[in-house]
Structure 1
Amino acid sequence: MALHSHDPRIDMPWALDQIAGWRMAKTKLPQWATCEGIVYPPHLALEQCSSQITAEYKARLLQRLINGPSGAGGSAGNDKAPDVLVDLTGGFGVDCSYMARVFDSAVYVERQEGLCEIAEHNFAALGLADRIRVVHDDAERYLAQMKPVSAVFIDPARRDAHGARTYAIADCTPDVLTMQGELLRKAAFVVVKLSPMLDWRKAVEDFGGTVREVHIVAAGNECKELLLVLSQVRQSGERLQIVCVNDDQRFAYVAQGGGAGGCGYAVDNVDGNAVDNNAVDGNTVDNNAESLAVENERQKEADSAWQFLYEPNAALMKAGCFALIERRFGVRQIAPNSHLFVTEEPVADFPGRRFRIVSTMTMSKRALKVGLAGLKQANITVRNFPLAVSQLRKRLKLRDGGDAYLFATTDSSGAHIIIRAEKAG
């Protein structure tokens, strides 16, 4: 490449974009990276696009919606209407390329002409030219004139006119809150992709009762997307489904009650019983001093029996259904705000990381000396603890890495503790 850096026939910025794009695609979009002829956009567009994993998830989600009992595909049999998807914010086209495969046809809409040209070229390279029609237009304008379709996907840009990141739904472009009436007039289902930084309860409330499903999508234990499925206004008392996904881990439940957002109570899909997620746990608290003393003794006995520790995956942490996790898996929180769970017996299917507890220690010098004896390095996590990871690492004089895991937290009595653990099989 350096030999041709002064060759006027070579567009060096474009060539460098292609090299950088292919390198990123090898891990983010492996199927695209193996396809001959793919053209990659400038770095920002590629950085912001979905990964193959999350794009495939959205395709499966939409396939279930259109094929379900209340799907948009019309009557069964030969009279079934064609399933059509409209992606109103096409971008680089990754999401559209995967979602379109579960529809009879799709329309890709994008206001940037350069991205339209790249997408049209890439769809042809992927063998999707006959399935996806590319339209250079504004999302609001196209929505206003389009005919009703099976589903609409929209991913509002989370950057303002100056390129700064925005997170509030109303600050994104286009503003899906003002568009939702027209969206639901034109599609049986609308899937809205939002920033994973958003409070999903507030997002549900903002849409005023049109949200039927919330999908918190993580990959590699990092929250990537918040997806809302909109349909015509839900009936009073109808349950809202919450789905938490992290790689091959899936945890689903329904929520109802709790104000305008309809999210105060988690309902276990297994037995239908409700758990108040605003409570410390699923039990009634007796404020009688004698009862509290007995409870504290039981707590100490239970603490000494801790054998396994569980850390929920990023999607579950985002969902915040901690009381339901206790009920579903028979685990117990160390303390209300620790979001770490313990058991005496292993729980093989817990959706998160699983550890075997080696020892538990207080923050006294003597306890740390005994509990950390022989340890030179460790992976440190803090939950509801007064020190940041960097501060605690410096205090303990431990390097990062290794096979040991330290969880610094606050127990139910208010004491700061460190749990030393190793990964469980």
Structure 2
Amino acid sequence: MKYQQTIQDFISEYADADTNRLRLMNIQADFDVSWAILQIETRKKIRHKLPAWAANPNLVFPSLLSTEQCSSELTARYKQQLILPGDLADLTGGLGIDTCYLAQKASQVVYVERMTEYCQAARTNFKWLGADNITVVEDDSTHFIQHCNRCFDTLYIDPARRGSGNKRIFALDECEPNVVVLMPELLRHGRRIVVKVSPMADISAILTLLPEVREVHVVSVRNECKELLLIIDSNTPVQEGFATIYCVDIDATGQESTFTFSLDKEKHLPHSAPCEAVARYLYEPNSSILKAGAYKSIAAAYGVDKLQINSHLYTSDCYLPDFPGRKFEVVEVVDFNAKSVKTVGKQYPHINLSTRNFPLTATELQKRIKCKDGGEFYLFATTLADNRKVLIVTRKAVNA
């Protein structure tokens, strides 16, 4: 459906309205009101995730689910550097965010999608976005690749991660399509395969299922893990267990912080000697590093001591401005007991609280301390190497 001016006016007028209440109103119009309300609802969902698309009045959105499952603009832009120059096929087109951004780097792109309404929306959106190097093909990804008579420089695939009853699926070989089964066919038709998988998926399990994976990109946006991306090159065999892991965090401005390691080297690194006491600075690796499990690699790379083998917090007497994660200056360290809980609560009525390797959740500890979120101080409740439970009060570090 193309926009008429009356629909655009309606969407603009009710852009911030409660869509549930709108549906209950008896609105008379010469257009499909329920469809227009869907456009309002989807735009509200993607304001932060896809600001440029949300602000474009000409774009259409086929469903709410399509906006929930699609990539953000930041992660879609990151994928541009992962593809080879030349032709590309996006085998699971969906809303078309990845397709559109990849088309800015590829010469010719084929968007493959089995749902008719998604294909119709994609044709409209690609036209308005000036993406004239994209061809829309309505087909199932497996059928398309099995009957394809051409080879692409890059094949991109994002298997559906929802099963029966809309249940979320994390295991790679349970998604649709099953890329483990489909991989021989993909390798016959693509020089490079880029696979997007759930950020909850187990990286070691993935590398066991797909030992040919060359790179794993663990991508976070503003310290929240969003995507795992697998890179497989048909002409570059990889020794099993030696895939390079890229831990990437993208901030609100699009700036990237990257830490690189391999699971094989991580496994063979010795554990850093646990610190005897918390030093002047405390470091919390970003979520991509924690997801990837680079616990020993990050300590070795930056010369920091780990508080305890399971705490995943690090400390040093010198300030490390380039450490990939949050950096804090330690204000005080107190043993966790009934007296200290009361003292901390009185001294810091507003404090940002988190727990790592600690018997209480952050919510439970907050009730004990009787504090509120916020303020300039950050409290880490954790366990030290001697199994002592402590409360570490910190503030964000500045260049020192």
Fold match by TM threshold 0.5:
yes
1:217-247 deviation digits (Å, cap 9, x = unpaired): 0102111101000123624478421101111
Q: Distance in 1 between matches of 2:232 and 2:246?
A: 14
The 8 Å contact of residues 305 and 314 in structure 2, kept in 1 or not, is answered as: yes
2:161 equivalent to 1:188: no
1:119 is the counterpart of 2:122: yes
The residue aligned with 1:59 is 80
- Please state how far the C-alpha of 1:370 moved relative to its aligned partner: 4.6
The answer to whether the 8 A contact 2:107-2:133 is kept is yes
Q: How does 1:236-247 map to 2 (within 5 A)?
A: 236=239, 239-247=242-250
Q: Is the 8 A contact 2:158 2:195 kept in 1?
A: yes
Deviations 1:369-399 (A, max 9, x none): 5555421121111110010111111111111
- What letter matches 1:195 in structure 2? S
Tell me the residue number matched to 1:20. 41
TM-score by length of 1: 0.83
CA-to-partner distance for each residue in 1:26-83, whole Å, 9 max, x for gaps? 3111222333411123211101110000000011221xxx25xxxxxxxxxxxxxxx1
Q: C-alpha deviations, 1:278-331, integer Å up to 9, x for none?
A: x533x6xxxxxxxxxxx9xxx54xx16x11111111101101111111111121
Please list, as runs of the form range in 1=range in 2, the aligned pairs for 1:396-415 lying within 5 A after superposition.
396-415=369-388
Cα offset for 1:252?
3.4
Find the aligned partners of 2:336 and 2:261 in 1 and give their Cα distance. Answer: 40
Within 5 Å, give how 1:27-46 maps onto structure 2: 27-46=48-67
Shift of 1:204: 1.2
Q: Describe the SS at the equivalent of 1:152.
A: strand
* TM norm structure 2: 0.88
Q: Give me the whole-angstrom Cα distance separating, in 1, the residues matched to 2:343 and 2:241.
A: 55
Is structure 2 residue 271 aligned with structure 1 residue 280?
yes
Aligned match of 1:164: 167
Structure 1: gaps of 5 or more residues: 68-82, 256-262, 267-274, 284-294
Structure 1 residue 254 displacement after superposition: 3.9
Pairing of 1:94-133 with structure 2 (within 5 A): 94-128=97-131, 130-133=132-135
Instruction: Confirm whether residue 265 of structure 1 aligns to residue 256 of structure 2.
Output: no
What is the Cα deviation at residue 249 of structure 1?
Answer: 4.1
Instruction: Give secondary structure in 2 for the equivalent of 1:409.
Output: strand
User: What SS does the aligned partner of 2:373 have?
Assistant: strand
Aligned-residue offset at 1:205: 1.1
Equivalence for 2:338: 365
Q: Which residue of 2 aligns with 1:272?
A: none
Is the 8 Å Cα contact of residues 358 and 381 (structure 2) preserved in structure 1?
yes
Matched residue type, 1:194: V
* Within-5 A mapping of 1:201-212: 201-207=204-210, 209-212=211-214
SS at 1:317's partner residue? helix
Q: Secondary structure at the match of 1:265?
A: helix
| Equivalences for residues 214-225 of structure 1 within 5 A | 214-225=216-227
Distance 2:239 2:81 in 1: 28
Please say which of residues 351-360 and 324-333 is displaced more in the overlay: 324-333
User: 1:110 deviation in Å?
Assistant: 0.2
SS in 2 for 1:401: coil
Is contact 1:21–1:41 with CA below 8 Å preserved after alignment? no
Verify the 8 A CA contact 1:109 1:134 in the aligned structure 2.
yes
Contact 2:306 2:314 in 1 (8 A): yes
Q: Percent identity between the aligned chains?
A: 36
Distance in 2, Cα, partners of 1:372 & 1:165: 39
Aligned equivalents of 1:123, 1:321: Cα separation in 2: 40
2:240, 2:287 → 1: CA distance? 29
Instruction: Look up the equivalent residue of 1:211 and give its one-letter code.
Output: V
Matched residue, 1:349? 322
Contact 2:345–2:370 (Cα < 8 Å) also in 1: no
Misfit runs of 4+, over 6 Å: none
